[in-house]
Chain A
């Protein structure tokens, strides 16, 4: 938090004029944490082409470079063979590769060309599906190895569901919660690899995830309370004798339905963007101040990177836990306050099939 604010302030202060040192070396973010002894080599590796596709004479300012790395775009950069030789950052323009995908809805053409973050989402989804299918195909009565590890994680998600939703209904929502957890986790982790981007650093992606939670929450509430009961709860507990208050209560309650998904959206988005911004700002200081701050800069960036790794897991867990909490809150009215409505962290209701002991995150 402190470092985000400091990075923001520094970026603002130093970045409003074009950076003095050679602009072609304007980026070296993702490869640096791999080995900070190679920081000089990292700058050279990405130096082959200027970040803005222009021919190395245009000076890019630090905020522009930072935004370029975090924001969405249509260019994929990775080491490949293009222009006849191996380059460290070959640009692949997705608009040219796919020819532009459009969807015609009525008379309106919607541009559905995949962008960088869309490709990252596909990659994360593919990895999740492949890993889980491979793990589940080795299922035996006594779990071992790869399957055991995934059973541990799914058990972890199931514990979150049982603690927040209650034992009776939890299993209906565990598929959604587990999908959300693994998908967000892998999207967050993919952003930490070199040459990849964080799809969850795009507000559209997090809005979509929060909307899924919203729909599942409303479905759970309607299913538990019936449509009449659900609408009655929208009046906020004001009885029919005070029905003249309803025109005030119902719009306010309706808007209040959307604050929770909004919070989910911004929390995930801002956490992912902030981490990358701090790393980019710290590494950009090398170019803005002098090359001699490089050891300190790369060291701090490495520490922030480790924090980012931790935050990736924590944010996936928080999203899943809050989704389970909201689903459970919608279900609370249909039974008469059974004490299955758990105390989070109770640790109760483990089924017999896990072998490996404690769920991650405890102790």
Chain B
């Protein structure tokens, strides 16, 4: 249980938790987009564009966490 092993463990756990966060976030986003498109199919194109932009921003925030995990994972 030295520091390096704990670091590797933390990297793996952190990656998993980051995925939980982004899965929930983008899942809610996609659900709202589907519902909006179903209610008003003529707005589907605009909704799709906004959905992609919002998904990229949410994913960007999650990738902060992944970068920290990568830093832990590649350390010696």
Contacts and interface: CB of A to CB of B under 8 A. Distances in A.
Given A5-B19, A9-B16, A318-B53, A63 B63 contact: no
B73 A63 contact: yes
B53 A321 contact: yes
Contacts of A274: 63, 66
B52 interface: yes
A287 B45 CA distance: 43
**Interface SS of chain A: helix, strand, loop or mixed?**
helix
B19 A2 contact: yes
Interface residues of B, number: 32
Contacts of B29: none
Given A263-B60, A361-B49, A5 B67 contact: no
B19 A1 contact: yes
B49 A8 contact: no
Contacts of A269: 67
A183 to B, nearest CB: 18
A73 to B, nearest CB: 15
A67 B18 contact: no
Contact of A8 (B22, B26, B64, B70): B70
Contacts of A16: 8
B63 A362 contact: no
B49 A362 contact: yes
B22 A1 contact: yes
A228 B19 CA distance: 45
A237 interface: no
Nearest to B9: A12
Interface residues of A, number: 30
A1 B23 contact: yes
Contacts of B60: 263, 266-267, 270-271, 318
A67 B74 contact: yes
A267 B15 CA distance: 16
A266 B56 contact: no
Interface in B4-48: 8, 11-12, 15-16, 18-19, 22-23, 26, 44-46, 48
B56 A9 contact: no
Interface string B46-76: 1011101100110111111011011001100
A263 B70 CA distance: 17
A271 to B, nearest CB: 6
Nearest to A266: B64
A11 interface: yes
Nearest to A71: B74
A2 B23 contact: yes
B22 to A, nearest CB: 5
A22 interface: no
A152 B48 CA distance: 20
Contact of B50 (A8, A271, A277, A345): A345
Contacts of A113: none
Interface of B: 8, 11-12, 15-16, 18-19, 22-23, 26, 44-46, 48-50, 52-53, 56-57, 59-64, 66-67, 69-70, 73-74
18 contacts: A1-B59, A2-B19, A5-B18, A8-B11, A8-B12, A8-B15, A8-B70, A13-B12, A267-B61, A267-B63, A270-B66, A271-B56, A271-B60, A271-B63, A277-B70, A345-B49, A362-B45, A362-B49
Interface of A: 1-2, 4-5, 8-9, 11-13, 16, 63, 67, 263, 266-267, 269-271, 273-274, 277, 314-315, 317-318, 321, 345, 361-363
Given A270-B64, A363-B45, 20 more contacts: A1-B62, A2-B19, A5-B19, A8-B11, A8-B12, A8-B69, A9-B15, A9-B16, A11-B73, A63-B73, A263-B61, A267-B56, A271-B59, A271-B60, A271-B63, A273-B70, A277-B70, A317-B53, A318-B56, A318-B60
